[in-house]
Amino acid sequence: MKKKFYILSSLILLIGCNNIDSSTPIPNSKEVVRNTNSVNVAQQVVETTPTRTLSKVKYIDKPIVIEQGMLHIKGFMGTIQPTLKSALQQDGDHATAMSACSSVAMQMTNDYNNITNGVKIRRTALKYRNPANKPDEVDKEVMYRFQAVKNFKPVAVDMGSSYRVYKPLITKASCLYCHGSKSDINPKIAKMIQKKYPHDMATGFKLGELRGVVVAEFPK
């Protein structure tokens, strides 16, 4: 078991920083056109509307897009969940399972992203454990909305040239071993988390709360 743990740990180090950069550049709101025909200069300041402002999320109500995103998410979740489940079953104090959740999940993310052309799958949260999973502005707004409306159905967002589908992840009893309050987490796990993720924010969750989201992003 020790050997397995070391293998998993080195995987973490290898793939720890595979965060996907999902930021979309926002064009300048003002564009000055050069005066070539000596016309009135005042008319030559062309106003262009930004394609997306970071504070506005363009939700779309297209069942087909949500379905497409959910197919990718289910494919991906199908690959990580059995891994986590069997690691939890094999390992009484969940120390190996913790490495499984971090490294194997991320490895699977890489594999999945390699085989599915143009589709990116990632996990993020408002209170995240791994800084590589930090949410961007759109992610944050979507999660605030999930918390506010308490409706945990997947949603789709128009990102300009791509779509994002967000599937909420709700805290289940099995998540509390590693994301619950102090009394839920075995001291050995707490120590490992503290060591590997010194700035961890992903504890203190309660049953039924929004833990985070899985995001599928794919070209239109």
Q: Does 147 participate in binding ligand HEC (rule CB under 6 A)?
A: no
Give the sheet arrangement for strand 155-158, strand by strand: 59-60, 155-158, 162-170, 210-219, 120-124
Q: Does 8 participate in binding ligand HEC (rule CB under 6 A)?
A: no
**For residue 214, which of 81, 98, 100 has the smallest C-alpha distance?**
81
Q: Does 128 participate in binding ligand HEC (rule CB under 6 A)?
A: yes
User: How far apart are alpha carbons 197 and 208 in whole angstroms?
Assistant: 24
For residue 116, what are its two tokens?
């599915």
Q: Does 108 participate in binding ligand HEC (rule CB under 6 A)?
A: no
* Residues 41 and 35: beta-carbon distance below 8 Å: yes
- Our measurement of the distance from residue 200's CA atom to the centroid of its chain's CA atoms, rounded to an integer in Å, reads 16
Q: Which of 139, 211, 215, 216 binds ligand HEC (CB under 6 A)?
A: 211
The least distance separating ligand HEC from the CB of residue 64, rounded to whole angstroms, comes to 26
Q: Which of 73, 108, 143, 169 binds ligand HEC (CB under 6 A)?
A: 169
Q: Which of 66, 102, 104, 215 binds ligand HEC (CB under 6 A)?
A: 102
Residues making contact with ligand HEC (CB under 6 A): 94, 97-98, 101-102, 106, 123-125, 128-130, 133, 169, 172, 174-175, 177-179, 202, 211-212
